[in-house]
Structure 1
Amino acid sequence: MSQAREVLVIGGNRYFGKRLIERLLAAGDRVTVLNRGSAPPPPGAAQLIADRDEEAALRTALGPRTFDVVVDQVCYTPRQAAVARRVFTGRTGRYVMTSTVEVYEYEDSLAPVPEEAVDPRTVVVDPELPWHDPEFLQAHYGEGKRQAEAVLAADPAFPYTAVRVAHVLGGADDFTGRLAHYADRIRAGEPIAVPVDNQPATYIHVEEIADFLFWTAGQDVTGPLNAASHGLLTTEDLCAAVAAHLPGGRTLFQEVEVGEISPFSFRRSYGMDNSRAVGLGFPFSTARQWLPRAVAETLRKDH
């Protein structure tokens, strides 16, 4: 039997973060959740309360504690990454940052992109941008993650992995409302706005990304790591799966050249190549196989 690990999870107390914590606890790990106290951790996990942006407060909350693994679910900016790197250097054997497919927002490639398409060691970091402004951060989500990765990668001795997460689907607790947006419009027969040249993307089920983060916590791989189920899905694929649950609904697409488009419709491809993780031994599922289940889970509360 493997020895229990000391694991710190920063933020991420809902959706796939909650599922990750459940997996860690089930494996016998001793789990501590650090957040600002807005929500208690799942039963069985300890809690530390601190604002991760405040370095002194973070150090005080951690005290002398050390960890085998830190999983940082809420690192969005280079400033936050810099604090984390300073605080956890020498304090953890492994630091896993939840990153995003959005780091590839400038990679105009129809083929699924591998990790080396965005090498964080070459990304320019500007900590003086208004990262504290919620509107700026929301508008620059991918760039914030890119620069956060770059800060971690700048220290070769820091044992980090950045998990670049595909678009996540599934679960009755999906709080994004994106599939519900499609359901509402299909029920009403209202048009779904898509770009003229609508591109596909890679996705991952909420349970699978929790599995992947749990698996990553036990590996010794470093650097970026793409996390996506096999296969690309289009807006049409998603709407067809939603429409299957809505007898009598009408799916109407409206192509727009400029202006706002529907969630999960893209003017450029957001496909990720998952072969690095596959080569390391993670058995991804196929998105088309779990899509009907994911839609059923998400729309269940609407019935």
Structure 2
Amino acid sequence: MQRICVIGGSRYFGKLLVERLRADGHQVTVINRGSARAPAGVEHLVVDRDDEAALVAALGSRTFDTVVDQVCYTPVQAAIAARAFADRTRRYVMTSTIEVYDPATAALPTVPAGTPVPEATVDPRAWQVAMDLPWHDEAYLEAHYAEGKRQAEAVLTRAGGFAFTAVRGAHVLGGGEREFTGRLAYYTERIARGDAVAVHADALPTVFIHHEELADLLRWAATATDFTGPVNACSDGLLDVHDLTAAVAAQTGREPVHETVAPGEAASPFSFDRHYAMSNSRAKQLGFAFSRTTDWLPGAVAEALTASAAPTA
């Protein structure tokens, strides 16, 4: 049994992570602002993680084997956490994102065309941190989501006081009505209605991960290994937007209608005009076994279709 703290963990794969850690017999503490109750048998601390004094007071004398931070979006939040949990936890795992590799949001090292990027493409040890940017402004944060994650990784990497790893999750699908991004529902609903899906003329591939697989990888990163540094989390197999619409069409019985956008114009979610895939080789070398996207995608599509058809309250 380990003592594990999950910051966030009130929805989607974070909630599933908490449930699975508890089922494994770990002593779990959830920290959030009270947006959702913790499952039975899980300690719940209601506190704003942005309020450092309140966070330290709520933690009291507690110590943990691992902290899993599901909701760290800025270097300011990371710095607060680094101070609050220094010498209080042996290990700190931050949920990060594939978006740290988005070349549209930062100047990144060049990799050969068509090559899934490795973790070293964004090295948090060398990434510049700017604490004085308006990270508390919601509009600014939304527009700089990827940079916020990069800088948060950088702060926690340099913090010391605990071993740190960032799990860079691919585009997460599955979960039906719990899939709060609504991006798969966008496709199922439009294709079922016969509406056009906007795509790039030369749509390039990306990577995905099922919400249950990401919860399992976070559980593994928290409990089963002592590696440090970033690790990419994506199922095996690249898909582009045409592969995705074909998977939806196979279950709706309607052929997708594609509408090509002009260069530079916005397209549908997961239609990319740049190669946007990452390598999962490091996680495999460390011992995690990934599924294939094509194995779970039909089930995720079916869940989304069922959720779309369900009556609303």
Normalised to the residue count of structure 1, the TM-score between the two structures is 0.95
Q: Which amino acid aligns with 2:221?
A: T
Establish whether residue 87 from structure 1 lines up as the match of residue 84 from structure 2: yes
Equivalent position amino acid for 1:230 in 2: D
**Mapping for residues 118-137 of structure 1, pairs under 5 Å:** 118-137=122-141
Q: Distance in 2 between matches of 1:117 and 1:37?
A: 37
Structure 2 counterpart of 1:162: 166
Instruction: Report the equivalent of 1:221.
Output: 227
User: Which whole-Å CA distance do the structure 1 matches of 2:133 and 2:204 have between them?
Assistant: 31
State the match for 1:207 in structure 2: 212
Partner residue in 2 for 1:75: 72
**CA displacement 1:276-302 (0-9 Å, x = unmatched):** 110011010111121111111222122
Partners of 2:134 and 2:202 in 1: CA distance: 33
What amino acid does structure 1 have at the position aligned with 2:261?
Answer: E
Counterparts of 2:24 and 2:204 in 1: how far apart (Å)? 39
Where does residue 189 of structure 2 map in the other structure? 184
The answer to whether the 8 Å contact 1:243/1:251 transfers is: no
| Counterpart check, 1:239 vs 2:245 | yes
Would you say the 8 A contact 2:194–2:254 is kept in 1?
no
Distance in 2 separating the partners of 1:301 and 1:191: 21
- Whole-angstrom CA distance in 2 between matches of 1:44 and 1:157: 29
Deviates more, 1:20-29 or 1:187-196: 187-196
What are structure 2's unaligned runs of at least 5 residues? none
Shift of 1:258: 2.5
State the alpha-carbon separation in 2 of the partners of residues 43 and 165 from structure 1: 28
Letter in 2 for 1:226: N
293, 296, 307: which one pairs with 1:287? 293
Corresponding residue SS for 1:183: helix
Per the normalisation by structure 2, the TM-score is: 0.92
Displacement, 1:12? 2.5
Larger CA deviation: 224-233 vs 238-247: 238-247
Conservation of the 8 A alpha-carbon contact between 2:196 and 2:259: yes
2:202 matched residue in structure 1: 197
Which residue in 2 is equivalent to 1:19?
Answer: 16
Instruction: State yes or no: 1:62 paired with 2:59.
Output: yes
Paired with 2:258 and 2:200, the residues of 1 have a C-alpha distance of: 13
Native 8 Å contact 2:70 2:95 kept in 1: yes
Identical-pair percentage: 57
CA separation of 1:229 and 1:248: change in aligned 2, threshold 3 A: closer
2:43 to 43, 46, 71: 46
State the partner residue of 2:304: 298
1:103-132 deviation digits (Å, cap 9, x = unpaired): 111246421011111110111100111111
Residues in 2 aligned to 1:221 and 1:194: alpha-carbon distance in whole angstroms: 39
Q: Please, which runs of 5 or more residues in structure 1 have no aligned partner?
A: none
How does 1:99-178 map onto structure 2 within 5 Å? 99-106=96-103, 107=108, 109=111, 110-172=114-176, 173-178=178-183
Q: Indicate conservation of the 8 Å contact 1:167/1:202, yes or no.
A: yes
Indicate if the aligned counterparts of 2:188 and 2:301 stay in contact, CA closer than 8 A: no
How many pairs are equivalent? 300
